[in-house]
A and B are shown apart, each in its own frame.
Chain A
Amino acid sequence: MLNYDLVVVGGGPAGMAAALKAKECGVDSIIVLERAETLGGILEQCIHTGFGLHYFGEELSGPEYAAKFIDQLKGTDIVVKTDTMVLDIDDDKVVTAVNKKDGLLKINAKAIVLAMGCRERPRGALEIAGSRASGIMTAGTAQKYVNLDGYMPGKKVVILGSGDIGLIMARRMTLEGAQVKVVCELMPYSGGLTRNIVQCLDDFGIPLRLSTTVVETHGTDRLEGVTIAQVDDKLQPIESTKEYIECDTLMLSVGLIPENELTKNVGIGIDRITNGAVVDEMRQTDHKGIFACGNVLHVHDLVDYVTLEAQIAGQGAAEFILGGDKDAVYVTPETGNGVRYLVPQRVNINNKNEVKLYFRVGQIYKNAKVVLECDGKVISSKKKVKLAPGEMENVVIPADILAGMTPDSSIVVRVEE
Protein backbone atom coordinates (compact mmCIF):
# COMPACT_ATOMS: atom_id res chain seq x y z
CA MET A 1 0.00 0.00 0.00
CA LEU A 2 1.32 3.42 -1.03
CA ASN A 3 0.42 6.51 0.94
CA TYR A 4 -0.20 9.92 -0.61
CA ASP A 5 -1.86 13.01 0.80
CA LEU A 6 -3.63 13.65 -2.49
CA VAL A 7 -4.47 11.34 -5.39
CA VAL A 8 -5.62 13.09 -8.56
CA VAL A 9 -7.46 10.84 -11.00
CA GLY A 10 -6.86 12.16 -14.51
CA GLY A 11 -3.99 14.21 -15.97
CA GLY A 12 -5.91 16.49 -18.30
CA PRO A 13 -6.32 20.23 -17.75
CA ALA A 14 -8.47 19.70 -14.64
CA GLY A 15 -6.22 17.17 -12.95
CA MET A 16 -3.04 19.13 -13.65
CA ALA A 17 -4.45 22.43 -12.36
CA ALA A 18 -5.88 20.78 -9.24
CA ALA A 19 -2.57 19.07 -8.43
CA LEU A 20 -0.57 22.26 -8.96
CA LYS A 21 -2.92 24.33 -6.81
CA ALA A 22 -2.85 21.77 -3.99
CA LYS A 23 0.96 21.84 -4.12
CA GLU A 24 0.94 25.63 -4.00
CA CYS A 25 -1.34 25.44 -0.95
CA GLY A 26 1.23 23.30 0.87
CA VAL A 27 0.18 19.70 0.30
CA ASP A 28 3.20 17.46 0.71
CA SER A 29 2.75 14.33 -1.36
CA ILE A 30 0.64 14.34 -4.51
CA ILE A 31 0.26 11.75 -7.25
CA VAL A 32 -1.50 12.19 -10.60
CA LEU A 33 -2.77 9.06 -12.34
CA GLU A 34 -3.39 9.31 -16.08
CA ARG A 35 -4.87 6.64 -18.34
CA ALA A 36 -3.21 7.86 -21.55
CA GLU A 37 0.48 7.75 -22.34
CA THR A 38 0.88 11.49 -22.01
CA LEU A 39 -0.53 14.25 -19.84
CA GLY A 40 -2.85 16.84 -21.37
CA GLY A 41 -6.02 14.85 -21.89
CA ILE A 42 -8.20 15.84 -24.81
CA LEU A 43 -6.20 19.06 -25.37
CA GLU A 44 -3.53 17.01 -27.17
CA GLN A 45 -5.83 16.47 -30.14
CA CYS A 46 -7.48 19.92 -30.06
CA ILE A 47 -4.90 21.53 -32.32
CA HIS A 48 -7.08 24.55 -33.16
CA THR A 49 -6.52 27.81 -31.33
CA GLY A 50 -8.87 29.66 -28.98
CA PHE A 51 -7.66 28.24 -25.68
CA GLY A 52 -6.27 30.40 -22.91
CA LEU A 53 -7.73 33.80 -23.79
CA HIS A 54 -9.30 34.17 -20.34
CA TYR A 55 -6.66 32.45 -18.27
CA PHE A 56 -3.41 33.38 -20.01
CA GLY A 57 -4.63 36.40 -22.01
CA GLU A 58 -3.26 34.86 -25.20
CA GLU A 59 -4.68 32.60 -27.84
CA LEU A 60 -3.19 29.12 -27.67
CA SER A 61 -3.78 25.76 -29.31
CA GLY A 62 -4.80 22.83 -27.12
CA PRO A 63 -1.32 21.26 -26.92
CA GLU A 64 0.23 24.67 -26.11
CA TYR A 65 -2.28 25.23 -23.30
CA ALA A 66 -1.54 21.76 -21.91
CA ALA A 67 2.23 22.24 -22.26
CA LYS A 68 2.16 25.22 -19.89
CA PHE A 69 0.79 22.99 -17.14
CA ILE A 70 2.94 19.98 -18.05
CA ASP A 71 6.04 22.20 -17.74
CA GLN A 72 4.87 23.52 -14.38
CA LEU A 73 4.29 19.97 -13.12
CA LYS A 74 7.83 19.01 -14.13
CA GLY A 75 9.12 21.76 -11.86
CA THR A 76 7.48 20.23 -8.78
CA ASP A 77 7.82 16.98 -6.84
CA ILE A 78 4.32 15.91 -7.85
CA VAL A 79 4.47 12.26 -8.93
CA VAL A 80 2.91 11.51 -12.32
CA LYS A 81 2.02 8.02 -13.49
CA THR A 82 0.84 7.84 -17.09
CA ASP A 83 -0.49 4.74 -18.85
CA THR A 84 -2.15 4.02 -15.51
CA MET A 85 -5.78 3.10 -15.20
CA VAL A 86 -7.71 3.64 -12.00
CA LEU A 87 -9.99 0.66 -11.44
CA ASP A 88 -11.65 1.50 -8.18
CA ILE A 89 -11.97 3.98 -5.37
CA ASP A 90 -13.40 2.78 -2.10
CA ASP A 91 -15.14 4.42 0.83
CA ASP A 92 -11.90 4.70 2.83
CA LYS A 93 -10.25 6.59 -0.02
CA VAL A 94 -8.11 3.69 -1.17
CA VAL A 95 -7.45 4.02 -4.90
CA THR A 96 -6.77 0.86 -6.90
CA ALA A 97 -4.94 1.38 -10.18
CA VAL A 98 -3.03 -0.75 -12.66
CA ASN A 99 -0.22 -0.23 -15.15
CA LYS A 100 2.35 -2.34 -17.00
CA LYS A 101 5.31 -1.28 -14.89
CA ASP A 102 3.97 -1.41 -11.33
CA GLY A 103 1.24 -3.96 -11.83
CA LEU A 104 -1.52 -3.44 -9.32
CA LEU A 105 -1.26 -0.30 -7.19
CA LYS A 106 -3.13 0.36 -3.99
CA ILE A 107 -2.87 3.95 -2.84
CA ASN A 108 -4.16 5.21 0.47
CA ALA A 109 -5.20 8.88 0.08
CA LYS A 110 -6.13 11.58 2.55
CA ALA A 111 -8.04 13.31 -0.23
CA ILE A 112 -8.92 12.54 -3.84
CA VAL A 113 -9.64 14.85 -6.77
CA LEU A 114 -11.74 13.28 -9.52
CA ALA A 115 -10.77 14.74 -12.90
CA MET A 116 -11.64 12.02 -15.39
CA GLY A 117 -13.22 14.29 -17.98
CA CYS A 118 -16.02 13.24 -20.28
CA ARG A 119 -16.63 11.14 -23.36
CA GLU A 120 -18.77 11.54 -26.43
CA ARG A 121 -22.29 10.23 -26.78
CA PRO A 122 -21.97 7.34 -29.26
CA ARG A 123 -24.12 6.24 -32.17
CA GLY A 124 -25.76 3.54 -30.07
CA ALA A 125 -27.44 6.22 -27.97
CA LEU A 126 -29.16 7.72 -31.03
CA GLU A 127 -31.09 4.77 -32.44
CA ILE A 128 -30.39 5.58 -36.08
CA ALA A 129 -31.58 2.85 -38.46
CA GLY A 130 -28.93 1.15 -40.62
CA SER A 131 -26.11 -1.34 -40.49
CA ARG A 132 -22.74 -0.96 -38.85
CA ALA A 133 -20.91 0.29 -41.91
CA SER A 134 -17.47 1.75 -41.41
CA GLY A 135 -17.26 5.51 -41.72
CA ILE A 136 -19.61 6.28 -38.83
CA MET A 137 -17.73 7.76 -35.89
CA THR A 138 -17.83 10.45 -33.25
CA ALA A 139 -16.29 13.79 -34.19
CA GLY A 140 -13.68 13.35 -31.47
CA THR A 141 -12.60 10.00 -32.91
CA ALA A 142 -12.24 11.63 -36.32
CA GLN A 143 -10.27 14.42 -34.65
CA LYS A 144 -7.86 11.87 -33.21
CA TYR A 145 -7.44 10.16 -36.62
CA VAL A 146 -6.65 13.44 -38.39
CA ASN A 147 -4.68 15.34 -35.75
CA LEU A 148 -2.75 12.61 -33.91
CA ASP A 149 -2.63 9.65 -36.30
CA GLY A 150 -2.29 11.78 -39.42
CA TYR A 151 -4.85 10.22 -41.70
CA MET A 152 -8.14 11.26 -43.20
CA PRO A 153 -11.14 9.11 -42.28
CA GLY A 154 -13.22 10.12 -45.32
CA LYS A 155 -13.84 12.37 -48.30
CA LYS A 156 -17.53 13.23 -48.25
CA VAL A 157 -18.78 14.06 -44.81
CA VAL A 158 -22.11 14.63 -43.09
CA ILE A 159 -22.00 15.82 -39.50
CA LEU A 160 -24.85 15.19 -37.10
CA GLY A 161 -24.93 17.56 -34.16
CA SER A 162 -23.55 21.07 -33.98
CA GLY A 163 -21.49 20.73 -30.83
CA ASP A 164 -18.14 22.48 -30.90
CA ILE A 165 -16.11 19.39 -31.81
CA GLY A 166 -18.38 18.78 -34.81
CA LEU A 167 -17.98 22.38 -35.98
CA ILE A 168 -14.22 22.32 -35.51
CA MET A 169 -14.01 19.06 -37.47
CA ALA A 170 -16.14 20.49 -40.28
CA ARG A 171 -13.42 23.11 -40.81
CA ARG A 172 -10.55 20.68 -40.28
CA MET A 173 -11.89 18.18 -42.83
CA THR A 174 -12.59 20.99 -45.33
CA LEU A 175 -9.07 22.38 -45.01
CA GLU A 176 -7.68 18.88 -45.62
CA GLY A 177 -9.65 18.60 -48.83
CA ALA A 178 -12.79 16.73 -47.80
CA GLN A 179 -16.23 17.93 -48.77
CA VAL A 180 -18.44 18.58 -45.76
CA LYS A 181 -21.92 18.47 -47.21
CA VAL A 182 -24.05 19.53 -44.29
CA VAL A 183 -24.18 19.83 -40.52
CA CYS A 184 -27.55 18.68 -39.15
CA GLU A 185 -28.79 19.78 -35.74
CA LEU A 186 -31.82 18.20 -34.13
CA MET A 187 -32.58 21.25 -32.00
CA PRO A 188 -33.77 24.60 -33.38
CA TYR A 189 -30.47 26.14 -32.17
CA SER A 190 -26.83 25.13 -32.30
CA GLY A 191 -25.13 23.55 -29.32
CA GLY A 192 -21.80 25.12 -30.25
CA LEU A 193 -20.19 28.50 -29.67
CA THR A 194 -21.31 31.23 -32.09
CA ARG A 195 -17.71 31.97 -33.09
CA ASN A 196 -17.33 28.38 -34.22
CA ILE A 197 -20.41 28.59 -36.43
CA VAL A 198 -18.95 31.73 -38.03
CA GLN A 199 -15.36 30.58 -38.52
CA CYS A 200 -15.92 26.86 -39.10
CA LEU A 201 -19.12 26.78 -41.15
CA ASP A 202 -19.93 30.24 -42.58
CA ASP A 203 -16.32 30.83 -43.67
CA PHE A 204 -16.46 27.73 -45.88
CA GLY A 205 -20.10 27.91 -46.96
CA ILE A 206 -21.02 24.73 -45.08
CA PRO A 207 -24.78 24.67 -44.51
CA LEU A 208 -26.14 24.24 -40.97
CA ARG A 209 -29.61 22.75 -41.00
CA LEU A 210 -31.44 23.22 -37.74
CA SER A 211 -34.34 21.00 -36.60
CA THR A 212 -32.93 18.27 -38.86
CA THR A 213 -31.60 14.82 -38.04
CA VAL A 214 -30.22 11.69 -39.66
CA VAL A 215 -32.90 8.99 -39.77
CA GLU A 216 -31.09 6.24 -41.67
CA THR A 217 -27.59 5.23 -42.74
CA HIS A 218 -27.01 3.36 -46.00
CA GLY A 219 -24.28 0.90 -46.99
CA THR A 220 -23.07 -2.28 -45.31
CA ASP A 221 -19.25 -2.40 -45.58
CA ARG A 222 -18.61 1.32 -46.02
CA LEU A 223 -21.11 4.08 -45.47
CA GLU A 224 -22.63 5.13 -48.82
CA GLY A 225 -25.07 7.80 -47.74
CA VAL A 226 -27.52 8.98 -45.12
CA THR A 227 -31.17 9.96 -45.14
CA ILE A 228 -31.85 13.18 -43.30
CA ALA A 229 -35.22 14.67 -42.35
CA GLN A 230 -36.57 17.73 -40.65
CA VAL A 231 -38.20 17.21 -37.26
CA ASP A 232 -41.42 18.63 -35.85
CA ASP A 233 -41.71 20.46 -32.54
CA LYS A 234 -41.79 17.10 -30.74
CA LEU A 235 -38.46 16.29 -32.45
CA GLN A 236 -40.11 13.56 -34.56
CA PRO A 237 -38.89 13.22 -38.19
CA ILE A 238 -41.31 14.53 -40.82
CA GLU A 239 -41.70 11.81 -43.49
CA SER A 240 -42.26 14.21 -46.40
CA THR A 241 -38.96 16.04 -45.77
CA LYS A 242 -36.72 12.96 -46.13
CA GLU A 243 -33.69 13.53 -48.31
CA TYR A 244 -30.83 11.24 -49.37
CA ILE A 245 -27.30 12.59 -49.13
CA GLU A 246 -24.35 10.66 -50.55
CA CYS A 247 -21.41 10.48 -48.14
CA ASP A 248 -18.73 8.07 -46.95
CA THR A 249 -18.42 9.49 -43.45
CA LEU A 250 -20.92 10.40 -40.75
CA MET A 251 -19.51 12.25 -37.77
CA LEU A 252 -21.47 12.54 -34.57
CA SER A 253 -21.18 15.55 -32.32
CA VAL A 254 -24.22 14.96 -30.20
CA GLY A 255 -23.20 15.67 -26.67
CA LEU A 256 -20.68 14.81 -24.00
CA ILE A 257 -21.19 12.61 -20.97
CA PRO A 258 -19.09 13.03 -17.82
CA GLU A 259 -17.20 9.81 -17.19
CA ASN A 260 -18.42 9.01 -13.70
CA GLU A 261 -18.22 5.23 -13.36
CA LEU A 262 -15.61 5.52 -10.57
CA THR A 263 -17.66 8.23 -8.87
CA LYS A 264 -20.80 6.13 -8.90
CA ASN A 265 -18.94 3.08 -7.55
CA VAL A 266 -17.96 5.07 -4.46
CA GLY A 267 -21.62 5.91 -3.99
CA ILE A 268 -21.19 9.63 -4.53
CA GLY A 269 -24.43 11.50 -5.27
CA ILE A 270 -24.90 12.46 -8.94
CA ASP A 271 -26.83 15.45 -10.31
CA ARG A 272 -29.40 14.18 -12.81
CA ILE A 273 -28.98 17.18 -15.10
CA THR A 274 -25.19 17.59 -15.19
CA ASN A 275 -24.50 13.83 -14.88
CA GLY A 276 -21.68 14.89 -12.57
CA ALA A 277 -21.27 14.73 -8.81
CA VAL A 278 -23.23 16.99 -6.49
CA VAL A 279 -20.61 19.31 -4.99
CA ASP A 280 -20.21 22.26 -2.65
CA GLU A 281 -18.44 25.53 -3.44
CA MET A 282 -15.00 23.93 -2.95
CA ARG A 283 -16.11 21.15 -5.35
CA GLN A 284 -16.28 18.62 -2.52
CA THR A 285 -18.70 15.78 -3.18
CA ASP A 286 -21.03 14.33 -0.57
CA HIS A 287 -18.12 12.03 0.42
CA LYS A 288 -15.80 14.07 2.60
CA GLY A 289 -12.32 14.49 1.15
CA ILE A 290 -13.38 13.50 -2.37
CA PHE A 291 -13.52 16.43 -4.80
CA ALA A 292 -14.48 16.67 -8.48
CA CYS A 293 -13.68 19.23 -11.17
CA GLY A 294 -13.59 19.82 -14.91
CA ASN A 295 -15.70 17.94 -17.41
CA VAL A 296 -16.30 15.03 -15.07
CA LEU A 297 -18.26 17.46 -12.89
CA HIS A 298 -20.15 19.24 -15.66
CA VAL A 299 -19.31 19.70 -19.32
CA HIS A 300 -17.55 23.02 -19.92
CA ASP A 301 -17.21 24.88 -23.20
CA LEU A 302 -13.94 26.62 -22.29
CA VAL A 303 -10.87 24.96 -20.82
CA ASP A 304 -10.06 28.25 -19.06
CA TYR A 305 -13.07 27.68 -16.81
CA VAL A 306 -11.96 24.08 -16.24
CA THR A 307 -8.64 25.37 -14.96
CA LEU A 308 -10.30 27.85 -12.60
CA GLU A 309 -12.66 25.21 -11.29
CA ALA A 310 -9.83 22.71 -10.81
CA GLN A 311 -7.89 25.27 -8.79
CA ILE A 312 -10.87 25.62 -6.47
CA ALA A 313 -10.98 21.82 -6.06
CA GLY A 314 -7.20 21.72 -5.51
CA GLN A 315 -7.48 24.39 -2.84
CA GLY A 316 -10.44 22.62 -1.26
CA ALA A 317 -8.50 19.35 -1.14
CA ALA A 318 -5.49 21.14 0.38
CA GLU A 319 -7.63 22.77 3.07
CA PHE A 320 -9.18 19.38 3.85
CA ILE A 321 -5.79 17.65 4.06
CA LEU A 322 -4.09 20.39 6.11
CA GLY A 323 -6.97 21.67 8.22
CA GLY A 324 -9.27 18.71 8.53
CA ASP A 325 -13.01 18.64 8.13
CA LYS A 326 -14.73 21.86 9.20
CA ASP A 327 -18.35 22.33 10.12
CA ALA A 328 -20.37 23.27 7.10
CA VAL A 329 -23.86 24.72 6.92
CA TYR A 330 -25.27 24.19 3.49
CA VAL A 331 -27.82 26.13 1.50
CA THR A 332 -28.97 24.63 -1.78
CA PRO A 333 -29.27 27.20 -4.59
CA GLU A 334 -32.41 26.76 -6.68
CA THR A 335 -32.77 26.92 -10.44
CA GLY A 336 -35.41 29.50 -11.38
CA ASN A 337 -36.98 30.26 -14.76
CA GLY A 338 -34.79 29.25 -17.69
CA VAL A 339 -31.88 27.85 -15.65
CA ARG A 340 -31.17 24.16 -16.24
CA TYR A 341 -28.64 23.52 -13.51
CA LEU A 342 -26.31 25.19 -11.05
CA VAL A 343 -22.78 24.17 -10.05
CA PRO A 344 -21.96 24.06 -7.17
CA GLN A 345 -25.23 22.52 -6.04
CA ARG A 346 -24.56 23.33 -2.35
CA VAL A 347 -23.04 26.41 -0.79
CA ASN A 348 -21.48 26.46 2.66
CA ILE A 349 -22.61 29.73 4.25
CA ASN A 350 -19.65 29.57 6.66
CA ASN A 351 -17.42 30.12 3.65
CA LYS A 352 -15.90 33.58 3.96
CA ASN A 353 -15.39 34.20 0.26
CA GLU A 354 -17.70 35.05 -2.61
CA VAL A 355 -19.08 32.07 -4.51
CA LYS A 356 -19.50 31.86 -8.26
CA LEU A 357 -22.43 29.77 -9.46
CA TYR A 358 -22.05 28.35 -12.97
CA PHE A 359 -25.11 27.47 -15.01
CA ARG A 360 -26.60 26.84 -18.43
CA VAL A 361 -29.91 28.06 -19.81
CA GLY A 362 -32.44 25.73 -21.43
CA GLN A 363 -33.10 27.75 -24.58
CA ILE A 364 -31.91 30.83 -26.46
CA TYR A 365 -32.78 34.22 -24.90
CA LYS A 366 -32.21 37.63 -26.43
CA ASN A 367 -31.92 40.82 -24.37
CA ALA A 368 -32.71 39.00 -21.16
CA LYS A 369 -31.52 39.47 -17.59
CA VAL A 370 -29.78 37.03 -15.28
CA VAL A 371 -31.17 37.61 -11.81
CA LEU A 372 -29.69 36.41 -8.53
CA GLU A 373 -32.15 36.50 -5.65
CA CYS A 374 -31.20 35.73 -2.06
CA ASP A 375 -33.88 35.53 0.65
CA GLY A 376 -36.37 37.20 -1.69
CA LYS A 377 -34.10 40.17 -2.43
CA VAL A 378 -32.59 40.82 -5.84
CA ILE A 379 -28.81 40.84 -5.32
CA SER A 380 -27.83 41.33 -8.93
CA SER A 381 -29.55 41.68 -12.27
CA LYS A 382 -27.24 41.50 -15.24
CA LYS A 383 -28.31 42.36 -18.78
CA LYS A 384 -27.36 39.83 -21.44
CA VAL A 385 -27.66 40.49 -25.16
CA LYS A 386 -27.76 36.75 -25.73
CA LEU A 387 -28.00 33.62 -23.63
CA ALA A 388 -27.60 30.21 -25.28
CA PRO A 389 -27.52 26.63 -23.97
CA GLY A 390 -24.12 26.15 -25.59
CA GLU A 391 -22.50 28.89 -23.54
CA MET A 392 -21.94 28.54 -19.80
CA GLU A 393 -22.84 31.56 -17.67
CA ASN A 394 -22.15 32.51 -14.08
CA VAL A 395 -23.38 34.72 -11.24
CA VAL A 396 -21.51 35.72 -8.11
CA ILE A 397 -22.88 35.54 -4.58
CA PRO A 398 -20.96 38.30 -2.76
CA ALA A 399 -19.19 37.35 0.47
CA ASP A 400 -21.23 39.80 2.60
CA ILE A 401 -24.52 38.34 1.35
CA LEU A 402 -23.31 34.84 2.14
CA ALA A 403 -22.18 35.93 5.62
CA GLY A 404 -25.70 37.16 6.40
CA MET A 405 -27.38 33.87 5.52
CA THR A 406 -28.96 31.28 7.80
CA PRO A 407 -29.57 27.57 7.13
CA ASP A 408 -33.11 28.51 6.00
CA SER A 409 -31.91 31.08 3.48
CA SER A 410 -32.78 30.82 -0.19
CA ILE A 411 -30.66 31.42 -3.27
CA VAL A 412 -32.37 31.52 -6.67
CA VAL A 413 -30.89 32.13 -10.11
CA ARG A 414 -33.34 32.87 -12.93
CA VAL A 415 -33.65 34.39 -16.35
CA GLU A 416 -35.98 37.36 -16.74
CA GLU A 417 -37.20 38.10 -20.26
Chain B
Amino acid sequence: MKRELTCVACPLGCSVTVEYNDSEIISVTGNTCKRGEAYAKTEITNPTRSLTSSVKVNGGILPVVPVKSDKPVPKNMLFECMKVINSVTVEAPVTIGQVIIENILDTGADIVATNNN
Protein backbone atom coordinates (compact mmCIF):
# COMPACT_ATOMS: atom_id res chain seq x y z
CA MET B 1 0.00 0.00 0.00
CA LYS B 2 1.03 3.59 -0.57
CA ARG B 3 0.13 6.70 1.38
CA GLU B 4 0.89 10.35 0.69
CA LEU B 5 1.59 12.33 3.86
CA THR B 6 2.51 15.89 4.67
CA CYS B 7 5.26 15.78 7.24
CA VAL B 8 4.44 17.93 10.28
CA ALA B 9 7.83 17.51 11.96
CA CYS B 10 8.77 21.07 11.02
CA PRO B 11 7.27 24.02 9.16
CA LEU B 12 8.75 22.92 5.80
CA GLY B 13 5.85 20.48 5.39
CA CYS B 14 7.52 18.02 2.99
CA SER B 15 5.27 15.76 0.89
CA VAL B 16 6.28 12.25 1.90
CA THR B 17 5.27 8.98 0.25
CA VAL B 18 5.23 5.83 2.37
CA GLU B 19 5.02 2.33 0.93
CA TYR B 20 4.02 -0.34 3.41
CA ASN B 21 2.53 -3.77 3.97
CA ASP B 22 0.23 -4.57 6.89
CA SER B 23 2.76 -3.74 9.54
CA GLU B 24 5.99 -3.30 7.67
CA ILE B 25 7.32 -0.07 6.19
CA ILE B 26 8.90 -0.78 2.81
CA SER B 27 10.06 2.69 1.83
CA VAL B 28 9.79 6.38 2.71
CA THR B 29 10.48 8.91 -0.05
CA GLY B 30 10.12 12.67 -0.48
CA ASN B 31 11.36 13.54 3.02
CA THR B 32 14.33 15.91 3.27
CA CYS B 33 15.57 14.87 6.70
CA LYS B 34 15.61 11.99 9.19
CA ARG B 35 12.76 13.50 11.16
CA GLY B 36 10.57 13.10 8.08
CA GLU B 37 11.32 9.41 7.86
CA ALA B 38 10.60 8.90 11.54
CA TYR B 39 7.37 10.90 11.25
CA ALA B 40 6.17 8.85 8.29
CA LYS B 41 6.89 5.57 10.07
CA THR B 42 5.02 6.45 13.27
CA GLU B 43 2.22 8.05 11.27
CA ILE B 44 1.52 4.65 9.68
CA THR B 45 2.09 2.48 12.75
CA ASN B 46 1.12 4.66 15.74
CA PRO B 47 0.39 8.33 14.96
CA THR B 48 1.45 10.70 17.75
CA ARG B 49 1.18 14.44 18.33
CA SER B 50 2.74 16.99 20.65
CA LEU B 51 0.03 18.40 22.90
CA THR B 52 0.03 21.98 24.13
CA SER B 53 -2.56 23.56 26.39
CA SER B 54 -2.78 25.60 29.57
CA VAL B 55 -3.34 24.81 33.24
CA LYS B 56 -5.11 26.89 35.87
CA VAL B 57 -2.86 28.72 38.35
CA ASN B 58 -3.76 30.01 41.82
CA GLY B 59 -2.09 33.26 42.83
CA GLY B 60 -0.09 33.81 39.68
CA ILE B 61 0.34 36.93 37.54
CA LEU B 62 -1.94 35.35 34.94
CA PRO B 63 -4.80 32.89 35.65
CA VAL B 64 -3.20 30.15 33.51
CA VAL B 65 0.23 28.85 32.59
CA PRO B 66 0.99 27.25 29.21
CA VAL B 67 2.05 23.57 29.19
CA LYS B 68 3.23 20.97 26.68
CA SER B 69 3.75 17.24 26.58
CA ASP B 70 7.51 16.74 26.73
CA LYS B 71 7.18 14.05 24.09
CA PRO B 72 4.42 13.28 21.60
CA VAL B 73 1.38 11.36 22.86
CA PRO B 74 -0.80 8.97 20.82
CA LYS B 75 -3.08 10.97 18.56
CA ASN B 76 -6.18 9.07 19.70
CA MET B 77 -5.52 10.04 23.33
CA LEU B 78 -5.40 13.83 22.84
CA PHE B 79 -8.89 14.46 24.20
CA GLU B 80 -8.42 12.15 27.20
CA CYS B 81 -5.18 13.96 28.02
CA MET B 82 -7.04 17.29 27.76
CA LYS B 83 -9.54 16.10 30.39
CA VAL B 84 -6.70 15.40 32.80
CA ILE B 85 -4.97 18.71 32.03
CA ASN B 86 -8.20 20.66 32.60
CA SER B 87 -8.79 18.97 35.95
CA VAL B 88 -5.53 20.28 37.40
CA THR B 89 -4.88 23.55 39.27
CA VAL B 90 -1.36 24.49 40.36
CA GLU B 91 -0.13 27.00 42.91
CA ALA B 92 2.09 29.92 41.88
CA PRO B 93 4.96 30.35 41.42
CA VAL B 94 5.32 28.08 38.41
CA THR B 95 8.66 28.00 36.63
CA ILE B 96 9.41 27.12 33.03
CA GLY B 97 10.17 23.40 32.69
CA GLN B 98 8.34 22.47 35.92
CA VAL B 99 6.57 19.10 35.68
CA ILE B 100 2.83 19.67 36.17
CA ILE B 101 1.56 16.13 35.47
CA GLU B 102 3.89 13.15 35.53
CA ASN B 103 3.48 10.39 32.94
CA ILE B 104 0.06 11.49 31.80
CA LEU B 105 -2.28 8.50 31.30
CA ASP B 106 0.74 6.19 31.19
CA THR B 107 1.84 7.60 27.86
CA GLY B 108 5.36 8.15 29.16
CA ALA B 109 5.01 11.88 28.54
CA ASP B 110 5.17 14.50 31.27
CA ILE B 111 3.10 17.66 31.05
CA VAL B 112 5.53 20.53 31.73
CA ALA B 113 5.11 24.28 32.10
CA THR B 114 6.42 26.32 29.16
CA ASN B 115 6.46 29.70 30.88
CA ASN B 116 6.93 31.26 34.29
CA ASN B 117 3.91 32.47 36.23
State the A residues within 8 Å of B (CB). 44, 47-50, 53-54, 59-61, 63-64, 67, 146-150, 175-177, 193-195, 197-199, 203, 301-302, 385-386, 391
Contacts and interface: CB of A to CB of B under 8 A. Distances in A.
Contact of A148 (B6, B64, B116): B64
B74 interface: no
A176 B6 CA distance: 25
Contacts of A59: 10, 50
B3 to A, nearest CB: 13
Contacts of A50: 10-11
Interface in B1-42: 6-8, 10-15, 30
A302 to B, nearest CB: 6
- Interface pairs A-B: 5 shortest CB-CB: A194-B13, A63-B115, A47-B66, A150-B64, A150-B63
Contacts of B75: 203
A195 B114 contact: no
A316 B68 CA distance: 37
B65 to A, nearest CB: 9
A387 B101 CA distance: 41
18 contacts: A47-B66, A47-B67, A48-B52, A49-B52, A53-B10, A61-B114, A64-B114, A67-B115, A149-B64, A150-B54, A150-B56, A150-B62, A150-B63, A175-B53, A195-B6, A195-B11, A198-B8, A301-B11
Contacts, number: 86
Interface of B: 6-8, 10-15, 30, 49-54, 56, 62-64, 66-68, 75, 78-79, 82, 86, 96, 114-116
B113 to A, nearest CB: 9
Contacts of B64: 147-150
A46 to B, nearest CB: 9
Q: Give the interface centre of B62, B66, B75 by most chain A CB atoms within 10 Å.
A: B66
B111 to A, nearest CB: 12
A391 B64 CA distance: 32
**Chain A interface SS verdict (over half):** mixed
Nearest to A385: B15
B28 to A, nearest CB: 15
A177 B83 CA distance: 10
A47 B68 CA distance: 8
Nearest to A200: B8
A63 B96 contact: yes
B114 to A, nearest CB: 4
A138 to B, nearest CB: 19
B7 to A, nearest CB: 7
Contacts of B67: 47
B11 A193 contact: yes
A197 to B, nearest CB: 8
Given A150-B54, A195-B8, A203-B75, 7 more contacts: A47-B53, A63-B114, A147-B54, A175-B78, A193-B13, A195-B13, A198-B6
Contact of A53 (B11, B15, B82): B11
B48 to A, nearest CB: 11
Contact of A302 (B11, B51, B96): B11
A146 B54 contact: yes
B62 A149 contact: yes
Contacts of B6: 194-195, 197-198
Contacts of A60: 114
A385 B4 CA distance: 14
A380 B88 CA distance: 55
